[in-house]
Chains A and B, each alone.
Chain A
Amino acid sequence: MSWPIRTENLSKTFRGVAAITDLNLQVPEKGIYGLIGPSGAGKTTAIRILMNIIRARSGRAEVLGVDSTRLSPRELASIGYVADGQDLPGWMTVEYFLSYLKPFYPTWDDSLAAELLREFDLPRDRKLSHLSHGMRMKAALASSLAYRPRLLILDEPFTGLDPLVRDELIEGILPASEHATILISSHDLNDIESFISHVGYLDRGRLLFSEQMTALAGRFREIEIVLDGGAPSQPAWPAGWMNIERSGDLVRCVDSQFEGGRTLTEIHRVFGEVRHVEARPMPLRAIFVTLAKAARKEA
Chain B
Amino acid sequence: MCTVRYSTHVIPFRVSFRPGVSIYEQVVYAAKKAIVSGQLRPGDAFPSVRALSKELKINPNTAHKVVTELTAEGLLEVLPGIGTTVASAPSSTAAERKRLLGGELEHLVVEAKKIGLDLDDVLSAVAEHWNALRDKESKEPARA
Are chains A and B native binding partners rather than an unrelated pairing?
Answer: yes
Partner-binding segment picked from B37-45, B54-62, B66-74, B100-108: B54-62
Chain B proximity of A118: nearest CB distance (Å): 12
Assess the B58–A283 pair: CB atoms within 8 A: no
Assess the A282–B19 pair: CB atoms within 8 A: yes
Assess the A217–B60 pair: CB atoms within 8 A: no
Assess the B53–A280 pair: CB atoms within 8 A: no
Assess the B57–A170 pair: CB atoms within 8 A: yes
User: CB of A94 within 8 A of chain B?
Assistant: no
Residue of A nearest to B21 (CB): A281
* Residues 25-75 of A at the B interface (beta carbon under 8 Å): 32
User: CB of B130 within 8 A of chain A?
Assistant: no
**Within the complex, which residue of B20, B50, B58, B59 is in contact with A217, where a contact is CB–CB below 8 Å?**
B20
* Residues 197-242 of A at the B interface (beta carbon under 8 Å): 197, 214, 217
User: CB of A248 within 8 A of chain B?
Assistant: no
Assess the A197–B59 pair: CB atoms within 8 A: yes
Q: Number of B residues contacting the other chain (C-beta, 8 Å)?
A: 17
B58: chain A residues at CB < 8 Å are 194-195
Assess the B20–A195 pair: CB atoms within 8 A: no
A214: chain B residues at CB < 8 Å are 22
Assess the A195–B57 pair: CB atoms within 8 A: yes
User: CB of B36 within 8 A of chain A?
Assistant: no
Assess the A280–B56 pair: CB atoms within 8 A: no
Assess the B17–A174 pair: CB atoms within 8 A: no
Assess the B20–A175 pair: CB atoms within 8 A: no
User: CB of A177 within 8 A of chain B?
Assistant: yes
A253: chain B residues at CB < 8 Å are none
How far apart are the CA atoms of A264 and B55 in the complex, in Å? 40
Check A194/B54 contact, CB under 8 A, given A280-B20, A282-B19, A282-B20: no
Assess the A194–B56 pair: CB atoms within 8 A: yes
Assess the B59–A175 pair: CB atoms within 8 A: no
Assess the A167–B57 pair: CB atoms within 8 A: yes
How far apart are the CA atoms of A282 and B21 in the complex, in Å? 9
Assess the A171–B54 pair: CB atoms within 8 A: yes
**Total A-B contacts with CB atoms under 8 angstroms apart:** 47
Residue of A nearest to B64 (CB): A178
Check A174/B54 contact, CB under 8 A, given A195-B59, A197-B59: yes
Chain A proximity of B134: nearest CB distance (Å): 31
Assess the B60–A281 pair: CB atoms within 8 A: no
User: CB of B23 within 8 A of chain A?
Assistant: yes
Assess the A177–B60 pair: CB atoms within 8 A: yes
* Residues 150-175 of A at the B interface (beta carbon under 8 Å): 167, 170-171, 174-175
How far apart are the CA atoms of A288 and B44 in the complex, in Å? 41
Assess the A283–B50 pair: CB atoms within 8 A: no
How far apart are the CA atoms of A167 and B23 in the complex, in Å? 18
B22: chain A residues at CB < 8 Å are 214, 217
Residue of B nearest to A194 (CB): B57
User: CB of A291 within 8 A of chain B?
Assistant: no
Check A175/B19 contact, CB under 8 A, given A32-B59, A195-B59, A197-B61: no
How far apart are the CA atoms of A195 and B53 in the complex, in Å? 8
* Residues 50-100 of B at the A interface (beta carbon under 8 Å): 50, 53-62
How far apart are the CA atoms of A195 and B7 in the complex, in Å? 22
* Residues 239-284 of A at the B interface (beta carbon under 8 Å): 280-284
How far apart are the CA atoms of A120 and B20 in the complex, in Å? 33
Residue of B nearest to A171 (CB): B54
29 interchain pairs (CB within 8 A)?
A32-B59, A167-B57, A170-B54, A170-B57, A171-B57, A174-B53, A174-B57, A174-B60, A175-B54, A175-B60, A177-B59, A177-B60, A194-B23, A194-B56, A194-B57, A194-B58, A195-B53, A195-B58, A195-B59, A195-B62, A197-B59, A197-B61, A214-B22, A217-B20, A280-B20, A281-B19, A281-B20, A282-B20, A285-B19
Interface set of B (CB-CB < 8 Å, partner A): 17, 19-23, 50, 53-62
Interface set of A (CB-CB < 8 Å, partner B): 32, 167, 170-171, 174-175, 177-178, 194-197, 214, 217, 280-286
Which A-B residue pairs are the 10 nearest by beta carbons? A283-B19, A281-B20, A171-B54, A195-B59, A194-B57, A174-B53, A170-B57, A178-B60, A197-B59, A174-B54
